[in-house]
Amino acid sequence: MNKKWVAYPYLVWMIIFIVIPSFLILFYAFTVRDEQGIRFTLDNFYKFCEPIYLSVLLKSLGLALFSTFVCLILGYPVAMILASKHFSKSATLSILFIIPMWMNFLLRTYSWLTLLEKNGIINSILSFFHLPKIDILYTDTAVVLGMVYNFLPFMILPIYTVLMKIDSKLVEAAQDLGGNSFTVFRRITLPLSIPGVMSGITMVFMPAVTTFVISKLLGGGQYTLIGNFIERQFIQLSDWNFGSAISMVMMILILISIGIMSKFDEDKGGGAALW
Amino acid sequence: MVKKIIMKSYLGLILLFLYLPIVVLIVFSFNKSKSRGNWSGFTLKWYKELFENSQIMDSLYTTLLLAILSSIIAVIIGTFAAIGIHNMKKFRKTMVMNLTYLPVLNPDIVTGVSLMIMFVFIGSIIGLKLGFITMLLAHITFNIPYVILSVLPRLRQMNKHMYEAALDLGATSVYAFRKVIIPEIMPGIISGFLMAFTLSIDDFVISYFTSGSGVSNLSITIYSMARTGVKPTINALSTIMFVSVLLLLILINIRSAREEKRRKQYDA
Amino acid sequence: MKKHFIKLLASAVILSTTILAGCGASDSAGGNSGEKVTLKVYNWGDYIGEDVIEKFQKKYNIDVVYDTFSDNEVMHTKLSAGGSDYDVAIPSDYMIKRMIDEGMVNKLDFNNIPNYKYIDEKFKNLAFDPNNEYSVPYMWGTVGIIYNKTMVSDPVDSWNILWNEKYKKQVFMLDSQRDSIGITLKKLGYSLNTKNQDELEKAKQELIRQKELGIVQSYVGDEVKDKMIMGEAAFAVVWSGDAVFMKRENPDLEYVIPKEGSNLWVDSMVVLSTTKHQKEAEMFINFMCETDIAFANADYIGYSTPHTEAKKMMSPDLLGDIAAYPSDEQIANCEVFEDLAGSIKDYDRIWTEVSVN
């Protein structure tokens, strides 16, 4: 279907609601307001080049990457199981995976506190059975747990929708030709699912880099990620210029990494065409 | 057989992980005290209080309305966008996709504040005040990318020649679209809708900055309570919402199971 | 499944459009009901007595649109962008000073607020509104240490106890720049409004030292209340109003205002410069200062009221509670936050450096 014009309503929407606000951010990033009024400057970017800020950025990227990886490892099997022929009610089942996300985020995270605290529910149960207590709050582990918890459904759903389409006859044919389960997975299922995996990674990694409530509550107030940082600039310090500059740097970094990732996609030929 | 048990257990484990906090939430909606971790007895008073609290109920209506409307509109715009993007040439496609990623990767605060400034600025020219409409527009904006990201993979999976084949067989383009393309990408559309709905229901920062006086969604109300302590009334609300959705799901399943049985009886 | 989904979707659309239409109808109906004024109030969440708004609406035949915000800075960011049209707001002390400086609040005509006479003198003319022209106090409190009697063997009367190596991982500090840096300054004997670089540097070193000694379990926000109730740590820095609640839930907890002094905070009512109903806004503020209303508010919220008559109606237990109504000598060394203006960047710098250590 060669109709490109169907995208035009979206393009208009995009220009009004994404491009224009982005120009605003650009404007703030490159200007500074002082006694002489507003002037163009690169100061905001220079400010960001201090090691302290760069280390925060690196940590955020690393944590987001790791959380995305965990989501992928945990979520892909879920999508596979749901899409396999063993489950007929998989559509309903898949909705079950997203319903928890409809409960308020703050409440859910508070519940994790109740579960993970030293005198929390999990430890109460563990000590009842004379098992050693866990103490993972205010560590990286707790933050990753929180991130995986919040983003897992966004990894499962796109992979699931792609996997369910993969013709089971392809899989059977491969098995008939002598492939064991692992080879079949590696050569047939995995490559065909890449579009879904890419979407999933995008929908998890990007918000994971800039999230901050999870790290605030589960990592402790001083667990500073780039998201906390940007929020502080905008809200506490009313320094929209610096905040916008940091946002821009991050934007560019992430877009570049997505660009690199999609190179992999293109090489594999992407999509359903295997021949 | 063993394989099926392993599969079921794995799903069960993941579901347990996802629902554990929800169970805690529900249990503490019956807690006598305001505390989220200190159990001091069973009570239904929070449920009673919930129905008398007009502020929370108003927020609930606003939230649901916002979520449903923004998801539906986002699905419509997004699906067509995905189809259009799918057919674009490489360069344009990359540009559009990169711009599409912006609401996803930008911190909420940046999206919220920039939209707010734009609305205020444009509003002063065309007389649009911050309010429900601006909130809706903002929600649609951050929902559309997720719809696009859900539908695109299905488009890529689709055999590109099916549409042409349908046209060759005599279908009009609208008919071919309805009967060939849409069913193919439907799971992507549904999954996009679900994700958009999820994001909309739970959004705080963007909603806060793009709303006007008198318009609050549930997230705004709840976050505002954090300072003095979120009361279990909110837990009660969440429990009711959760149970309703589950019931709805079960009902749908019973109906479709009955229909399947009827169909099987026909075939038999 | 797909068929049902479409049906559900269709009904959802129909439902939503009907509701929207209904809302629109009621909106215009409300607007057309003639000269009835609508007052827009912006307050913290859960920060008003249960039927106060209804009572006000009935008494004065003024409609009230009541919105909530989660903290001062977020509220300020939203209001300063210009898109909002609230009439009355209830921010905290230092934020009010900032709003006065930025022209965001109007002067009050105290002839319209006769009930102002009930406000305790010691809450008038404070640093953030020196001639008390812009604000009327609503709630107040202190910042102090709450500790669990069963987990602490030393006397608790100074901020130094929070630096005591005996209590590794037993201290919750506040995730708030001004509060945490502020109490450290007080501990060192300085003012918590200082802009002096040396003093700030020393405070920074103290905070870093506290972290390096492993004393701090975490920097927490509002979730600290439940944490202390559940005995997660021995000490926490908290606001007094929360302390009252915590002590009620867990009798092992005690609250103390350290001898070096602390922060005295006040939330006050102001009329925003975007208002079109100055008189009605002042009527609202006056209404909130009626004795039984002030009592209803304080009773529901659980914080301390600056209203002298309402205070008299409080229970003797509460009046004797240092967390609720400390005596004048107990708060002698307490300071109110002043707006730091440009120096806020120094504070943030310190905060960032402490956080990466």
Of B55, B69, B209, the CB nearest to C66: B55
Q: Does C68 contact B231 at a Cβ distance shorter than 8 Å?
A: no
For CATH 1.10.3720.10, list the domain ranges present in chain A: 50-267
Q: Which chain A residues touch B15 with a CB distance below 8 Å? A: 96-97
Q: Mind telling me how many Å the CA of A40 is from chain B's nearest CA?
A: 19
Q: Digits of tens for pLDDT over chain B (268 positions)?
A: 788 889 889 999 999 999 999 999 999 999 998 888 788 889 999 999 998 888 899 999 999 999 999 999 999 999 999 999 988 888 888 889 999 999 998 999 999 999 999 999 888 888 778 899 999 999 999 999 999 999 999 888 888 788 888 888 888 888 888 888 888 899 899 999 999 999 999 999 999 999 988 899 999 999 999 888 888 999 999 999 999 999 988 888 888 778 878 887 877 5
Domains of chain C, by residue range, sit at 1-34, 36-139+266-320, 141-264+330-355
Question: CB of B81 within 8 Å of any CB in chain A?
Answer: yes
> Does any CB of chain A come closer than 8 Å to the CB of residue B249?
yes
Domain C141-264+330-355 bears CATH identifier 3.10.20.600: no
Closest CA to C313 of C330, C325, C329, C328: C325
pLDDT of residue C285: 96
Nearest CA in chain A to B252: A92
Q: Do residue C355 and residue A55 have CB atoms under 8 angstroms apart?
A: no
Q: Is the pLDDT of residue C25 over 50?
A: no
What pTM does this model have? 0.90
C-beta atoms of C356 and A224 within 8 A? yes
ipTM of the complex: 0.89
In this prediction, residue C8 carries a pLDDT of: 58
A-chain residues near B249 (CB < 8 A):
92, 95-96, 99
CA distance A196 to C107: 59
Report how far residue B232's alpha carbon sits from residue A242's, in angstroms, rounded to the nearest whole number: 39
Q: Alpha carbon B29 to chain centroid distance?
A: 24
Q: What is the pLDDT of residues C288-345, one digit of tens each?
A: 999 999 999 999 999 999 999 999 999 999 999 999 999 999 999 999 998 887 788 8
Predicted confidence at residue B69, as pLDDT, reads: 96
Counting Cα atoms < 13 Å in the Cβ hemisphere of C148 gives 20
What residue of B is the nearest CA neighbor of C232? B37
**Residue carrying the six token digits 């009660």:** B236
Minimal Cα–Cα distance from A149 to chain B, Å?
7
Angle (nearest 5°) at CA B73 between B67 and B74: 80
- How far does chain C reach from its first CA to its final CA, in angstroms? 54
pLDDT of residue C190: 92
Q: Considering only the beta carbons, identify the residue of B80, B197, B252 that sits closest to A9.
A: B80
Report pLDDT for B268. 59
The conformation of residue C92, written as its DSSP 8-state character, comes to B
Q: What confidence category does residue C14 fall into, taking pLDDT thresholds of 50, 70 and 90? A: low
In this prediction, residue C22 carries a pLDDT of 43
Distance separating alpha carbons of residues C2 and A92, to the nearest angstrom: 11
> To which residue do tokens 């909309």 refer?
B200
The whole-number pLDDT of residue B111 equals 93
Nearest to A10 among B7, B78, B187 (CB): B78
Domain C36-139+266-320 and domain C141-264+330-355 have a common topology: yes
The residues with which C139 forms a beta bridge, in sequence order, are C267
pLDDT at residue C183, rounded to an integer: 94
Cα A98 to the chain's mean position, in Å?
15
pLDDT in tens, C201-216: 999 999 999 999 999 9
* Inter-chain residue contact C222 with B209, CB threshold 8 Å: no
Signed CA dihedral, A176, A180, A186, A189: sign only: positive
Contact criterion met (CB < 8 Å) for A78 and B137: no
Residue numbers in C near A114 (CB within 8 A): 226
> Taking chain A, what is the end-to-end CA distance rounded to the nearest angstrom?
20
Q: Which of B17, B87, B249 sits opposite A3 (nearest CB)?
A: B87
Distance from CA of C74 to the nearest CA of B (A): 9
Tell me, letter by letter, the H, E, C secondary structure of chain A: CCCCHHHHHHHHHHHHHHHHHHHHHHHHHHEEEECCEEEECCHHHHHHCCHHHHHHHHHHHHHHHHHHHHHHHHHHHHHHHHHCCCCCCHHHHHHHCCHHHHCCHHHHHHHHHHHHCCCCHHHHHHHHCCCCCCCCCCCHHHHHHHHHHHHHHHHHHHHHHHHCCCCHHHHHHHHHCCCCHHHHHHHHHHHHHHHHHHHHHHHHHHHHHHCCHHHHHHHCCCCCCHHHHHHHHHHCCCCHHHHHHHHHHHHHHHHHHHHHHHHHHHHCCCCCCCC
Q: Which of C9, C12, C249 lies closest to B33 in CB terms?
A: C249
Q: Which residues, other chains included, contact B228 with Cβ-Cβ below 8 Å and sequence gap of 6+?
A: C44, C45, C46, C47, C222, C241, C242, C301, C302
Q: Contact at 8 Å (CB) between C208 and C163?
A: no
B-contacting residues of C 49-78, CB under 8 Å?
A: 65-71, 74, 77-78
Tokens of C35: 């000269």
Q: Is B213 helix (H, G, I), strand (E, B) or coil?
A: coil
pLDDT at residue B169, rounded to an integer? 86
Topology of the domain covering A50-267:
MetI-like fold (1.10.3720)
Q: Give the DSSP letter of residue C219.
A: E
Question: Do residues B213 and C40 touch, judged by C-beta distance below 8 A?
Answer: yes
CB-count exposure of residue A131 (10 Å: 0-12, 13-18, 19+): exposed
Nearest C-alpha of chain A: how many angstroms from B22?
A: 7
Rounded to 5 degrees, φ, ψ at B74 are: -65, -40
**For C36-139+266-320, which CATH superfamily applies?**
Periplasmic binding protein-like II (3.40.190.10)
**Which of A236, A240, A244 should we substitute to test contact with C (largest number of C Cβ atoms within 10 Å)?**
A236
Identity of residue A16: I
Nearest Cα of chain B lies from the Cα of A121 at a distance, in angstroms, of 8
Identify residues of B whose CB sits under 8 angstroms from chain C CBs. 33-38, 40, 55, 61, 65, 68-69, 72, 113, 116-117, 119-120, 123, 129-130, 186, 190, 193, 208-209, 212-214, 216, 220-229, 231, 252, 255-256
Contact A81, B7 (CB under 8 A): yes
Give the one of A221, A224, A234 whose C-beta lies nearest to C221's C-beta. A221
Positions in chain A whose pLDDT score sits under 70: 1-2, 35-36, 85-88, 264-275
